[in-house]
Amino acid sequence: MIFTFEIPLLLLMLVTAAGAILVKDLMSAVLLLGSYSFFLSLVWAWLGAVDVAFVEAVVGAGLATVLFLLTLFGTAPKDTRLRRPPPSLTTLIVFPLLGILLLYAASDIPGFGDPNSPANIHISPTYLERSFQDTHTPNVVTAVLMDYRSLDTMVETVVIFASGIACALLLRRHGK
């Protein structure tokens, strides 16, 4: 009953992610990656993280696809020809082991929505109870991001600023 939406979404994500890696043409890979981001945003929305879903849909499926496509238009056909060597022996041994390790660790993750999980008993209740009186902001996510954790958000903005500067410095070198 619970899995009505989750299983098809998970299958679609697996198919689009594998397709983005396996497909021969780079243009198709970019578009498949965009649709992967869109399905991922549906998963976020299904889990109740609407703000994250919004960002994923706008940035992952929209902006990143446009940037990838613009990069692709700037390349010559010989740069985009894909050669896929067969996976080495190390890859074949290490990655399944890593997967088994992750599956083993996953059994220790607290259940979804468990009120006694560490994430839900540390400081989240304080935010949920007091954010509206403190800041007059009904959206708790915004209150946490922009008020309680404002310095973090400022440094994230510095990161975006630095990425823009780095792109300009690296790519506009034909100017004086």
Q: In the complex, which residues of this chain contact other proteins (CB under 8 A)?
A: 50-51, 53-55, 58-59, 62-63, 66-67, 70-71, 73-74, 133-139, 141-143, 145-147, 150-151, 153-154, 157-158, 160-161, 163-165, 167-168, 170-172, 174-176
Residue among 71 and 124 whose Cβ is closer to other proteins: 71
CB of 27 to other proteins, least distance (A): 16
Note the Cα 36 to chain centre separation in Å: 10
DSSP string, 16-76: HHHHHHH-S-HHHHHHHHHHHHHHHHHHHHHHT-HHHHHHIIIIIIIIHHHHHHHHHHTS-
CB of 88 to other proteins, least distance (A): 33
Residue among 91 and 150 whose Cβ is closer to other proteins: 150
Residue among 27 and 171 whose Cβ is closer to other proteins: 171
H or E stretch including 83?
none
CB of 144 to other proteins, least distance (A): 11
Neighbours of 40 (CB within 10 A): 21
Residue among 75 and 91 whose Cβ is closer to other proteins: 75
CB of 73 to other proteins, least distance (A): 8
Residue among 122 and 174 whose Cβ is closer to other proteins: 174
CB of 145 to other proteins, least distance (A): 7
Cα separation, 88 vs 99, whole angstroms: 17
| Distances 173 to 51, 73, 166, 168 between C-alpha atoms, Å | 37, 18, 11, 8
Q: Which residues of 42-61 are buried (b: 16+ CB within 10 A; e: fewer)?
A: bbbbeeeeeebbeebbeebb
